[in-house]
Chain A
Amino acid sequence: MYSILKPCKTSAAFEAIPRDRLSLDLDQCEEILRNVCTIVTNAGILLIVNDRCEVSIHKDGRLILKTDSNDLAAEQAARIAGWLEGTPALRKPPQSTRPGE
């Protein structure tokens, strides 16, 4: 689900960008994730802690992973994607099409 991991400008975190356009229902994400990790807060973005890594989950599916380790960020992003994929928390909005396409 997450194909790109790039450091933030400030280098103190990594950003995971969804390969496809996504829309997350953060309330449903919270319900699902509370069984597997710690929920810090759900307020416009969902903050969780998993294996001592803090992750901000945005409605558009972006993840901000507070870690200095690229490997840990990739591992965490894959794990979160696995937990959410195929659940009602995750929707893929229809791609906009132009006339003639």
Chain B
Amino acid sequence: MAKLVSLISGGIDSPVAAYLMLRRGVDLVAVHMDNRPFTDEKNLNKTLRLIRHLQNLTQRPIRTYVVPHGPNHIAFARNCERHLHCLFCRRMMYRIAERIAQKEGADGILTGESLGQVASQTLQNLMVENQVIRVPVVRPLIGLDKVEIIEIARKIGTYEISTLPSLCCTIVPKKPSTAARASDLHDEEQKIDLGALIEKSLGGMYVLDPEAL
């Protein structure tokens, strides 16, 4: 049986992606990157409610990890080019998810990305995000538009949870890069100790039981 590490936020897309793969019989390990203090606790709460909903809907257990990501944002914001911030953030998420995939014996990473939906999800950006990991990234929503994703979310009952009030990430730059170059990202990332940040994130990681909400 295939197993994927599912990056789950409290938004609309990632729970839909998770549902589609659960429906195909794939086992999931959920990872929520906790962006506090640049978001609020409502995002974490929504994520756990979404995972609980998916578990009930599919009758499949989903082991759920929460990883502190705020300190990574601070390191990038203080040391690296602001307009590349979302790329640094996502590359970091991928690196951490890959490590969790190794620990859990998973075959790849699952995300809710769909092409062109936000600045970080252009083809060029997705390519430079992929370059930092070796495991495959599964993107079941890549060709769907927002209306189609919302339609599925409504059908499976996640839309109402995903659209509960919460705070969007406040550290997103005003003009995020839509066409980042790998060499620029690499040069900027040399300014910080990536390895130490990854270890610290994994050290602060904890398991949460969505049923305990």
Contact = CB atoms under 8 A, between A and B. Distances in A.
Q: Do A and B bind each other?
A: yes
Best-buried of A11, A44, A45, A60 by chain B (most CB within 10 Å): A44
B188 interface: no
Contacts of A64: 167, 170
Interface residues of B, number: 18
Contact of B166 (A10, A40, A45): A10
A52 B78 CA distance: 25
Interface in A41-58: 41, 43-45, 47, 54, 56
Q: Contact residue range for chain A?
A: 10 to 19
A17 interface: no
B42 interface: yes
Contacts of A54: 37, 40
B168 A8 contact: yes
B57 interface: no
Interface in B99-150: none
Top 4 closest A-B pairs, CB basis? A44-B77, A43-B77, A12-B165, A11-B165
Interface of A: 8-13, 40-41, 43-45, 47, 54, 56, 60, 64, 66
7 contacts: A9-B168, A13-B40, A41-B74, A43-B171, A45-B170, A54-B40, A56-B38
Given A13-B40, A45-B38, 8 more contacts: A10-B167, A40-B37, A41-B74, A43-B74, A43-B77, A45-B170, A47-B170, A56-B170
